[in-house]
Amino acid sequence: MALNKKTVDDLSVQGKRVLVRCDFNVPLKNGEITDETRIVAALPTINKLISGGAKVILCSHLGKVKNGPNEGESLAPVAKRLSEKLGKEVNFVADYNVTGEAATAAVNAMKEGDVVLLQNTRFRGKEETKPTEAGEAFAKELADLADDYVCDAFGSSHRAHASVSVVTKYIKEKGGSNAVGYLMQKEIDFLGNAVENPVRPFVAILGGAKVADKLNVINNLLEKCDTLIIGGGMAFTFLKAQGCEIGKSLVDDEKLDYCKEMIAKAEKLGKKLLLPVDTVVADSFPDPIDNPSIAVATVDSDKIPADKEGLDIGDKTRTLYADAVKTAKTVVWNGPMGVFENPVLAEGTKAVAKALAETEATTIIGGGDSAAAVNQLGFADKMSHISTGGGASLEFLEGKELPGVYAADDK
Ligand code: 3PG
Ligand code: MG
């Protein structure tokens, strides 16, 4: 898919202050970064700007910041890891106000090739408000720090937030450029090509707990793909819609009609829609979730006993799905097939990951849980592309325009 937006390669940055919105929303445990993928993914753009002689001002959110600014959601650990990765100093402005005196002083002291990281943008409550509302002032303050702006935060690009899209207006007002970074470009190339211009057969695999989270993705992908595979908790609403007994399995009764509609739509379009033919069941959801001694059995998907809950796809289904993957030239996968956090219930997800790892097809993993599953199962380096965006890749697969993309200048 041709992205008709300015990119970092279109900017002349020597001596310029360039504000870069990254997605440094990394998982933390006791203050330690447990997955640095998003930091590593941001390096090409940052290095390009450093070597081009820019003054590189980075910003990002981290976490949901529900209870106001706090040290637990400070970007300090990111500054440290980023500095190690870049092999140079990252001047972290720890001020909870993000912009203001401390940030301005740090930027004023910058030389070409220096890097400054601002504090968590969500420490400013205004970050998350919709454009034209209260985020404006914060967006302007961010723009005041810089000459040009680069959005490289694919994972946040579905948010019309101050630092993602509103800021572009103020950069433009003062004659600066708004571009997208290399990570954005790469994500959009892979996801966009898969959906709009796939080498066929194109197989889409959707899983995860709730069908309600994927309504528009199912609808959109059904039109684009050749085969749509459904697994995970959301499969049970489809199975019930077909008249199957699903026992105590997760179900969204309000979405039964929707599932019926999708089944009819697949038929009408001549698309294959694959649902689980067998299911791994247990008495109840594992507690704790990774409890390795959970007792399971495999039953046909249309005969789940009334007192059992479906928690993974069964053997026959794993073979069925793996065979479908073998015929594909393009595969997009979003959402696990079962409770993969549990070793006993990870087999379905593992089988699908393995099938993707073994095919020559272009394989694209939507972020979030499926990316975590592929990483956890050790198949990451076998995939063509693992998206750094969870919600963002889903919205992209829904066919929505992303604010972080459309806010950039056209070429
Ligand atoms: C993510 O991890 O999904 C992105 O960083 C966006 O975060 P958000 O869902 O809290 O907006
Ligand atoms: Mg999210």
From CA 291, how far away is CA 284, in angstroms rounded? 12
Residue 222 has what pLDDT?
96
User: For atom 9 of ligand 1, which residue has the closest CA?
Assistant: 391
- 96 and 123 in contact (C-beta within 8 Å)? yes
- Active-site residue, 391 included: yes
Calpha distance 125→62 (Å, rounded)? 13
Taking the CA of residue 161 as reference, the ligand 1 atom at the shortest distance is 11
Per-residue confidence (pLDDT) for residue 367, from 0 to 100: 78
Residue type, position 360, single letter:
E
Distance 64 CA to ligand 1 centre (A): 8
Q: Confirm if 263 and 281 have CB atoms less than 8 A apart.
A: no
10-15 mean pLDDT: 98
Segment 130-161, tens digit of pLDDT: 656 678 999 999 999 999 999 999 999 999 99
CA distances from 128 to 18, 166, 392 (A): 22, 10, 15
Q: Which residues contact 87 (CB under 8 A, 6 or more apart)?
A: none
pLDDT grade, residue 167 (50/70/90)? very high
Q: What is the pTM of this model?
A: 0.92
Q: In 3D, which of 24, 15, 7 has the Cα closest to residue 118?
A: 24
Evaluate the CA torsion angle 173, 174, 177, 178 in order and state its sign: negative
* Span 87-133, pLDDT tens digits: 999 999 999 999 999 999 999 999 999 999 999 999 998 787 665 66
Distance between CA atoms of residues 255 and 262, nearest Å: 11
Beta-strand ranges (E) seen in 250-406 are: 272-274, 278-282, 297-300, 303-304, 309-313, 330-334, 362-365, 385-386
Question: The tokens 């969204």 sit on which residue?
Answer: 252
Report DSSP state, residue 409.
P
- Count CA atoms within 13 Å of residue 229 on its CB side: 29
Which of 24, 25, 184 to probe ligand 1 with, by most ligand atoms within 8 A of CB?
A: 25
Percentage of the chain beyond pLDDT 90 is 92
The amino acid that residue 263 corresponds to is I
Contacts for 44 with CB less than 8 Å, ≥ 6 apart: 181, 182, 183
Query: How far, in Å, CA of 51 to CA of 33, rounded?
Result: 27
pLDDT value of residue 1 = 58
- Quick one: tokens of 189? 């190339």
Which amino acid is it at 370? S
Q: At a CB cut-off of 8 Å and minimum separation 6, what does 108 contact? A: none
Catalytic residue among 5, 38, 224, 271: 38
